[in-house]
Chains A and B, each alone.
Chain A
Amino acid sequence: MSEPKSILVIGGGISGMTAALEAAEAGKSVALIEKSPYIGGRVARINQYFPKFCPPVCGMEINLKRIKSNPNITIYTLAEVDSISGSAGNYDVSVTVNPRYVNSKCTLCGKCSEVCTAEIDDDFNLGMCKTKAAYLPHKMAYPRLYVLDPSIIGTDDAQKCKEACKYDAVDLDMKPEKVTINAAAIIVATGWQPFDASKVDYYNFDKNDNIITNVMMERLNAEDGPTQGKILRPSDGKEPASVAFVQCAGSRDENYQGYCSGVCCAATIKQIHYVREQYPDAEITVFYIDIRTPGRLEDLYLKAQEDEKVTFQKGKAVNIDGTSNGNLLIEAEDTLTGVKSKKEVEMVVLATGMVPNLAETGLPGGGATFDKYGFIVPDGEGIYGAGVAKRPVDVAVCTKDSTGTALKAIQCLVRG
């Protein structure tokens, strides 16, 4: 093998990007593969970080700049691992790179999108709105290239896109490609997906548009989101006069998700700020079992408790039913007074937790150990979990964890 062995990073979210950068900046050759058409993952869809309420865009921009200027990193988007063979120090990883149908001549002029008539669910906005089937996934998407959704290939729409592109960037003949990457170590930074709240019958999540999840709330408050940053309830676009947050929606519950994701409490307090900034008079109720805001995050909680528009009610919200005017009745027992009652609000946010992406599939070709929830157990050499693939943590911990994981991978590479 003439090429120097590399480190393979699976997953292009904040953890994967961090691990790839740290290894590359230490002079190692890194291959970063990402299954979606852009890197940035879940963090790209977050509106603000807690506890400072700053936008992730800044940090993301710096990371993208580092990646662009680093020749040691090769990025494969729309790519997925088929199989892994070999052992620590010498893995052969077979990867399928799916066609983007747009080549590097793309100038982001947007003509293809203009002429395309077909629309698809906007995955970046969690399906809360539609996007054209020829699209740039989001404003900051990197690689800076449009994508054609496979569903329009072979249709007139695809042909129109091709004809509209005067730079010859639309290539409808692209086929899936097989790539084999020889890697000394593999960093699995496959991240998470939001818990599917429709699994919990008593929330009636899929029956009421005005029940949303915390990740949807991020998009509702984002300028490039489905409502251009206005928090409006989905059914009728009304500005909500009251919002309820339901903590531990599916979390800490052995029937659904047996663990605490550790970030939802702080995320809810952050989202209370979103609501309070837009609607200073809105009544906010938080239904909780325990508020978990460890360390410095406790200050966030104390501050929210001082807010007279915010009520923290101890006792899990269970039954949520819609009313004829689109409002919602939330039933819970206030465990401090011992009274069970129904509270009517105009919008409900379910604080759903993080489900590791590999929970159901595992790692193709094996080689990693998972706990009963699907998080990678750190054991053995050669394949290392990083970020939320390993345990549910916030962004700051992910970046620190990924830096440490990069060091483990470099050690594995050096040992050979």
Chain B
Amino acid sequence: MAKAKFIEPDLDFIHEISSAEMQKCYQCSTCTVVCPISPEVNPFPRKEMIWAQWGLKDRLLADPDVWLCHNCNDCSVNCPRGANPGDLLATLRNYFYTKNAWPAFLGKAVNTPSMLPFIIAIPAVLILLLAAINGTLTPLFPLEDGHIRYGAMFPGMTLIDPLFVSATLFVIMSFSISISKLWSGMNNMTPRVPNKGMPLVQAIIATIQEILTHSRFDECGQAKTRSSAHKALVFSFIALAIVTGVVAGLEWLDILFDINLVSSGHHVTPLPFLSIIGGPLKLLANAGALLLIYGVYTAIMNRKNDPEGETFGKQTYQDWFLLYTILTIALTGLGSELLRLVNIAPIAYSVYFIHLIAVFMLIAYLPFSKFAHIVYRTTAIIHSKHVGRYEMTAEDVKGKEAIML
């Protein structure tokens, strides 16, 4: 007789992630077969459905498949019971953001609608405090030679950079805790198959390729429009990250070594359009902003046009928090540029202030918002390539105990 196995259900966990729909699952496994991106061995999401019904929290929190899922929703659309496996996996991902990230109180705050004012207030107060320390709050809405310069009120080196660099360090610390936990859990759950996985570096390169081309995402049946919106968002973020990085570098060069590569004036920004470095950067920044608006608008409309979640899955606070944060960044970013040009100081500085708040919320709350998927999913894809998850066949698990039960 096979060795008895003890199942230890976590009843609180069931309560936290369960839905009436999920409990309808009768394990027919239509979902794993209709899913275009589910692997051959131990495919998802059928096993996740029974693990969730049984409250097997440890397995689900170490399960790479929760992240290999791209939420295309083919499983839910075809589910004979309306058990919505796609929604369960989205719920589990939300669980990572809400309950599994360090420190836990921020996970709760970012994911609780009633605490939204509080988490907006954190960056607002921090920015104003830093500005006060810098002495740039008086006079309010300063003009230099009659012109707006955002750095005059929110200086880069002494306000923006310290704020965002420390936020980034905090995010790295938070992720280093959760990712090391996830990685060892995934290794345990899906051990490397000899001769099938890629070396780690190669897996990382292949993952970056997969993300840039959306090759896996494009296989999803229900999610064609989601994939194109997502592509726009990815490339706009890359463009805007390049602009931000280069501008920060230029500013530090200017401040530390007094080398201004873009203008003869005293400051790097606003970038002069008619300069060899400034022109292309400005073009890239504006193109990125427009692409960002297109991407986030499409993503929002996809959700708006599907209020019941029949095509794209159930809508959650996490979805809307991320989408509206990005929308705010896009609109206030472009708005800041336009308002500076029309030179209405109080409104322009206020809009820029909101822009800074929204960017802070995107970066500093990354481990607790849906935006964390860029780290978790990337890690899971790297892991899947490293262990040879998609290359595994029945032969590789022959004779081994099925991990399903």
With A255-B78, A289-B26, A316-B28 already in contact, the answer to whether A337 and B33 are too (CB < 8 A) is no
Residue of B nearest to A250 (CB): B80
CB distance from A180 to the nearest CB of B (A): 45
Q: Give per-residue flags for B1-36: 1 if the beta carbon is below 8 A from chain A beta carbons, else 0.
A: 000000000000000000000000011111011100
Q: Is the pair B34, A318 in contact by a Cβ cutoff of 8 Å?
A: yes
Q: Which of B12-62 contact A (CB under 8 A)?
A: 26-30, 32-34, 38-43, 46-47
CB distance from B211 to the nearest CB of A (A): 25
* Best-surrounded residue of A202, A319, A336, A340 (most CB of chain B within 10 A): A340
Contact of A253 with B by CB under 8 A: yes
With A335-B46, A336-B402 already in contact, the answer to whether A315 and B28 are too (CB < 8 A) is yes
With A338-B47, A338-B397 already in contact, the answer to whether A333 and B80 are too (CB < 8 A) is no
Other-chain contact of B43, A248, A290, A319, A340 (Cβ < 8 Å): A340
Contact of B267 with A by CB under 8 A: no
Residue of A nearest to B32 (CB): A333
In the complex, A331→B36 CA distance in Å? 12
In the complex, A309→B82 CA distance in Å? 35
In the complex, A315→B47 CA distance in Å? 12
Q: Give per-residue flags for A180-202: 1 if the beta carbon is below 8 A from chain B beta carbons, else 0.
A: 00000000000000000000001
With A338-B42, A338-B402, A341-B40 already in contact, the answer to whether A254 and B81 are too (CB < 8 A) is yes
Q: Is the pair A333, B46 in contact by a Cβ cutoff of 8 Å?
A: yes
* Best-surrounded residue of A253, A255, A333 (most CB of chain B within 10 A): A333
In the complex, A253→B42 CA distance in Å? 24
Contact of B201 with A by CB under 8 A: no
In the complex, A369→B368 CA distance in Å? 53
Please name all residues of chain B whose beta carbon is closer than 8 Å to the beta carbon of A202 when the two chains form the complex. Answer: 34, 78
Please name all residues of chain B whose beta carbon is closer than 8 Å to the beta carbon of A331 when the two chains form the complex. Answer: 33
Contact of B256 with A by CB under 8 A: no
Contact of A339 with B by CB under 8 A: yes
CB distance from A2 to the nearest CB of B (A): 56
Please name all residues of chain B whose beta carbon is closer than 8 Å to the beta carbon of A316 when the two chains form the complex. Answer: 28-30, 33, 80
Please name all residues of chain A whose beta carbon is closer than 8 Å to the beta carbon of B301 when the two chains form the complex. Answer: none
Size of the A side of the interface (Cβ < 8 Å), in residues, is: 23
Total number of residue pairs linking A and B with CB closer than 8 Å: 73
Q: Which of B372-405 contact A (CB under 8 A)?
A: 394, 397, 402-404
Please name all residues of chain B whose beta carbon is closer than 8 Å to the beta carbon of A248 when the two chains form the complex. Answer: 28, 80
Q: Is the interface of B mostly helix, strand, loop or mixed?
A: loop
Please name all residues of chain B whose beta carbon is closer than 8 Å to the beta carbon of A289 when the two chains form the complex. Answer: 26-28
Other-chain contact of B80, A254, A315, A336 (Cβ < 8 Å): A254
In the complex, A315→B80 CA distance in Å? 13
With A332-B29, A340-B38, A341-B40 already in contact, the answer to whether A252 and B80 are too (CB < 8 A) is yes
Residue of A nearest to B43 (CB): A340
In the complex, A315→B41 CA distance in Å? 14
Please name all residues of chain A whose beta carbon is closer than 8 Å to the beta carbon of B403 when the two chains form the complex. Answer: 338
CB distance from B259 to the nearest CB of A (A): 60
Q: Is the interface of A mostly helix, strand, loop or mixed?
A: loop
Q: Is the pair B397, A318 in contact by a Cβ cutoff of 8 Å?
A: no
Q: Is the pair B80, A335 in contact by a Cβ cutoff of 8 Å?
A: no
Q: Is the pair A335, B27 in contact by a Cβ cutoff of 8 Å?
A: yes
Residue of A nearest to B77 (CB): A255
Q: Is the pair B394, A337 in contact by a Cβ cutoff of 8 Å?
A: yes
Other-chain contact of B404, A254, A317, A338 (Cβ < 8 Å): A338
In the complex, A328→B323 CA distance in Å? 44
In the complex, A318→B397 CA distance in Å? 23
Q: Is the pair A338, B43 in contact by a Cβ cutoff of 8 Å?
A: yes
Q: Which of A336-362 contact B (CB under 8 A)?
A: 336-341
CB distance from B22 to the nearest CB of A (A): 15
CB distance from B127 to the nearest CB of A (A): 51
Please name all residues of chain B whose beta carbon is closer than 8 Å to the beta carbon of A318 when the two chains form the complex. Answer: 29-30, 33-34, 78
Residue of A nearest to B24 (CB): A254
* Best-surrounded residue of A254, A319, A337, A338 (most CB of chain B within 10 A): A338
Q: Is the pair B30, A339 in contact by a Cβ cutoff of 8 Å?
A: no
Please name all residues of chain B whose beta carbon is closer than 8 Å to the beta carbon of A253 when the two chains form the complex. Answer: 80-81
Q: Is the pair B41, A339 in contact by a Cβ cutoff of 8 Å?
A: yes
Residue of B nearest to A330 (CB): B33
Q: Is the pair A254, B41 in contact by a Cβ cutoff of 8 Å?
A: no
Q: Is the pair B28, A338 in contact by a Cβ cutoff of 8 Å?
A: no
In the complex, A341→B395 CA distance in Å? 12
Please name all residues of chain A whose beta carbon is closer than 8 Å to the beta carbon of B78 when the two chains form the complex. Answer: 202, 255, 318
Please name all residues of chain A whose beta carbon is closer than 8 Å to the beta carbon of B43 when the two chains form the complex. Answer: 333, 338, 340
Please name all residues of chain A whose beta carbon is closer than 8 Å to the beta carbon of B82 when the two chains form the complex. Answer: 254
* Best-surrounded residue of B26, B27, B28 (most CB of chain A within 10 A): B28
Please name all residues of chain B whose beta carbon is closer than 8 Å to the beta carbon of A252 when the two chains form the complex. Answer: 26, 28, 80
Residue of B nearest to A336 (CB): B402
Q: Which of A314-332 contact B (CB under 8 A)?
A: 315-319, 331-332
Please name all residues of chain A whose beta carbon is closer than 8 Å to the beta carbon of B46 when the two chains form the complex. Answer: 333, 335
CB distance from B401 to the nearest CB of A (A): 10
Q: Give per-residue flags for A200-236: 1 if the beta carbon is below 8 A from chain B beta carbons, else 0.
A: 0010000000000000000000000000000000000
CB distance from B391 to the nearest CB of A (A): 14
In the complex, A76→B404 CA distance in Å? 59
Q: Is the pair A255, B397 in contact by a Cβ cutoff of 8 Å?
A: no
Please name all residues of chain A whose beta carbon is closer than 8 Å to the beta carbon of B38 when the two chains form the complex. Answer: 340
CB distance from A202 to the nearest CB of B (A): 7
Q: Give per-residue flags for A112-156: 1 if the beta carbon is below 8 A from chain B beta carbons, else 0.
A: 000000000000000000000000000000000000000000000
Other-chain contact of B394, A254, A319, A339 (Cβ < 8 Å): A339
Other-chain contact of A339, B28, B80, B397 (Cβ < 8 Å): B397
Residue of A nearest to B78 (CB): A255
Q: Which of A283-338 contact B (CB under 8 A)?
A: 289-290, 315-319, 331-333, 335-338
CB distance from A150 to the nearest CB of B (A): 40
Q: Could you pull out 10 A-B pairs where Cβ atoms are within 8 angstroms?
A: A254-B81, A255-B80, A289-B27, A316-B33, A317-B33, A318-B78, A332-B29, A333-B29, A338-B41, A339-B394
Chain A interface (Cβ < 8 Å from any Cβ of B): 202, 248, 252-255, 289-290, 315-319, 331-333, 335-341
Q: Closest 7 CB pairs between A and B?
A: A253-B80, A318-B33, A316-B28, A333-B29, A315-B29, A289-B28, A338-B404
- 15 A-B pairs besides A318-B29, A332-B29 with CB distance below 8 A are A202-B78, A315-B28, A316-B30, A316-B80, A331-B33, A333-B33, A333-B46, A335-B27, A335-B46, A338-B47, A338-B404, A339-B42, A340-B33, A340-B40, A340-B43
